[in-house]
Every structure is written in C-alpha cells, then in structure tokens.
Amino acid sequence: MSTELLEKCLIKKTLAEIREIEALDYSCIKASDDFKERIHKTIITEKDAKKKHHPRKAAIIIVAAIILSLSIMFTASAKIRDSVSKLIVEIHETFSELFVKSDGNEEFPGSIEKIYQPKYINYNGFVEIDRLQSEIGMFTVWTNGSEIIDLSQSLVGSHLQYDAENITYMSADLGDIEVLYYLKNNTYTVVWTDHGYIFSMTCDESLGWAEIEKIVTSLELVE
C-alpha cells in the first residue's frame, strides 16, 4: 500500500467528517466583537507570560542547582544505586499506576542530570525520529521503517500511568534487571529501574523478546 494512497484515504475520511458538520445549520455562529476582544487580551497575556517565563525558569534552575549541590556535599559517600528494588503497581478502575517504593535511605537524582540510551538500538537498524526532554523526563522515539520503539526515562519519584483494561502485569528477568511488562494490542510495555531512574519502553510485539532484552540491558550514559 502506498503512502500516497494512504494520504488520500486519510484526507477523504477527515473531509467526510467535516462535510457532516458543515451540513448542519450553524449559521448563527459567528465571531463576535467580544470574542475578538477576548482573543486580543489572551494574546497579550500570552506574550507577557513568555517574557516572564525565562527569568522564573532560570531562578528555579538556580535553586535546584543549589539544592543538588548541597545534597551532593552532604551525601558524597551515599552511592546512587544502580537499580531500584521495588516497582509497585496499583490498579485503579480506569488506569494502572507504576511507581517506586523507596525505603527512604536511597538517594536518587532530583532531575534528569544524566541521559541513558540503549546502545543496542543503534546497531539494529533503528533511527531516532523524535526526542523530547524536560526537567522531569526524557522521551525518545526510534523507527526502522516498519517498527517503532519509544523509551521514556523518568525520575524515581514519578508515578507512571498506563491503561488498565484487560491488562495483566508480568515480571521477567532480563540479564540482571527485573522488569514489569504487559502485552496489549500487539504492543509490549516494559518498565524497569536502572541507574537511579525509571525507564518505560513500548514496542511492537513483532520486535521479539530477545531483542527487547538486548535493548533493556544495553542502556549506557550518553555523553
């Protein structure tokens, strides 16, 4: 199936939805002067917020840096653990939640100060197509043209939320890493902890468990 054909079909379907709505009588709906005035104010507010955003962000980073520096000074001998012992799953009515249960004695990074990526993925025909980094997480997407893999690196304090419908979590040992995973809609979701962070990977079932193990166990620090 060609991409061109697919494009045509997607547009055709979207236009069909549009035509259905256009056929309805919404002739009374027009942009009012009040609406125009409100947009005017919204945009001014947006502009002001953008101007103020950078100094505030800088202040937060500075404070965070001070806190981190102090914690490093006072806990210099406390080694950040390479793996976290317990991933907890809570199943709610409409979603499930994964988080790390800590005994309070462990030290974990308070921000994404180091980025870990699977070394193996680069030798497996996958190319990075998207990346998003924030103070609380790192999200990367790869594809080899037919399959897609995404990996998130989150802080240990994060609570990851997933679907809960018809899902059974299972655990497995991949090398010396214990993972929790589930399979739904031909997609594996695999969650584990390593290097003081929580990692969550989703990939097509067709990738195969052996490949997943190689990816999970090949995390290395990105310079």
Partner 1 sequence: MLLFYLSLIDTDESKDKITKIYESYLDWMLKIAFHYLQDERDAEDAVNDVFLSIINNGCSVPDGDEDRVKSYLYICIKHSSLKISRSKCKGKTISFDSLFNVSSKFDIEDELLKKDRFEAMLRAIDTLPSIYRDVLTMYIVFEKSLKEIADLTGVSYKTVATRFRRGRAILKERLGDIDI
Nearest alpha carbon to residue 216 among 155, 87, 208: 208
Contact status, residue 195 vs residue 205, Cβ threshold 8 Å: no
Q: Residue 22, Cβ neighbours under 10 Å: how many?
A: 9
Q: Is 17 in the site for partner 1 (CB under 8 A)?
A: yes
Which of 97, 107, 204, 211 lies at the binding interface for partner 1 (CB under 8 A)?
A: 204
The string over 108-147, giving b where at least 16 C-beta atoms fall within 10 Å of a residue's C-beta and e elsewhere, is: bbeebeeebbbebbeebebeeeeeeeeeebbebbbeeeeb
Contact status: 133 vs partner 1 (CB under 8 A): no
Return the residue of 202, 207, 214, 216 that touches partner 1, per CB under 8 A: 202
Residue 192 makes CB contacts below 8 A (sequence gap 6+) with 87, 174, 177, 178, 179, 180, 198, 199, 216
User: Whole-number minimum distance, CB 25 to partner 1, in Å?
Assistant: 10
Tokens of 90: 């809570």
| C-alpha distance from residue 133 to each of 43, 88, 98, 149, 170 (Å) | 26, 25, 21, 17, 29
Contact with partner 1 (CB under 8 A) among 90, 96, 148, 172: 148
Cβ proximity to partner 1: between 5 and 73 the closer is 5
CB of 212 vs partner 1, minimal distance in Å: 15
Determine the interface stretch with partner 1 among 65-73, 95-103, 125-133, 166-174 (rule: CB under 8 A): 125-133
Q: Does 130 bind partner 1 (CB under 8 A)?
A: yes
Interaction residues for partner 1, span 154-193 (CB under 8 A): 185-187
Q: According to the binding rule CB under 8 A, does residue 153 interact with partner 1?
A: no
What whole-number distance in Å separates Cα of residue 158 and Cα of residue 136?
Answer: 8
Cβ proximity to partner 1, 146 vs 168, nearer residue: 146
Q: Which residues bind partner 1 (CB under 8 A)?
A: 1-3, 5-15, 17-18, 21-22, 24, 26, 29-31, 35-40, 42-44, 46-47, 129-130, 132, 139, 141, 145-146, 148, 150, 152, 185-187, 202, 204
